[in-house]
Amino acid sequence: MRPGVRLALDWGAARIGVAACDPAGTLAYPVETVPAGPSALPRIAALVAEYEPIELVLGLPRTLAGTESYAAATIRTAAGELAAELPGLTIRLVDERLSTAAASRQLGQAGRSTRRQRKIIDQAAAVAILEGALAQERATGQPAGETL
């Protein structure tokens, strides 16, 4: 397992959930929800400067069959913009199948109503994406996903 903080993004049309992990890659936790739009890239760049991650992990939407969903093109475009904004930072695209559904289920089990979930669901989905990437790296010894 490579040491170092990672940041994960659950990139949506309206909001971007952000999560981070500790330097050992043991614990993923929510950071914040960034409104999508023109102010998103500068805010993410500020978070990268603050957390100094070894990589940025973006959830790549896939269908249950494993093919890229229609939203994957949007994520690939966002990843390209992030790469231009943050040269030198590794950006990985990882499978995010069912991350939002899993996050919603966990929040529901924790007693959060659907209405109360809206403010944090994107952060919880980013945590799920990062936990999946970390688990895959622990299991295989290789970083998860594809490098942009």
Residue at token pair 């929510």: 30
DSSP annotation of 99 reads H
What pLDDT, in 10s, does the model give residues 14-30?
999 999 999 999 999 99
Count of structural domains, the chain: 1
DSSP annotation of 9 reads E
Residue 148: inside a domain, yes or no?
A: no
Q: Measured in Å, how far apart are the chain's first and last C-alpha atoms?
A: 20
pLDDT of residue 37: 93
The answer to whether residue 103 scores a pLDDT higher than 70 is no
The answer to whether residue 69 scores a pLDDT higher than 90 is no
pTM score, whole prediction: 0.86
Residue 41: inside a domain, yes or no?
A: yes
Residue 17: inside a domain, yes or no?
A: yes
pLDDT of residue 58: 96
Domain holding 29, by residue range, is 6-139
Residue 15: inside a domain, yes or no?
A: yes
Distance between CA atoms of residues 49 and 111, nearest Å: 34
pLDDT of residue 62: 77
Residue 14: inside a domain, yes or no?
A: yes
Residue 147: inside a domain, yes or no?
A: no
- Decide the pairing of beta strands 146-147 and 15-21: unpaired
The answer to whether residue 100 scores a pLDDT higher than 80 is no
CATH of the domain at 106: 3.30.420.140
Residue 117: inside a domain, yes or no?
A: yes
Residue 52: inside a domain, yes or no?
A: yes
93-122 CB burial, b ≥16 within 10 A, e <16: bbbbbebbebbbeebeeeebeeeebeebbb
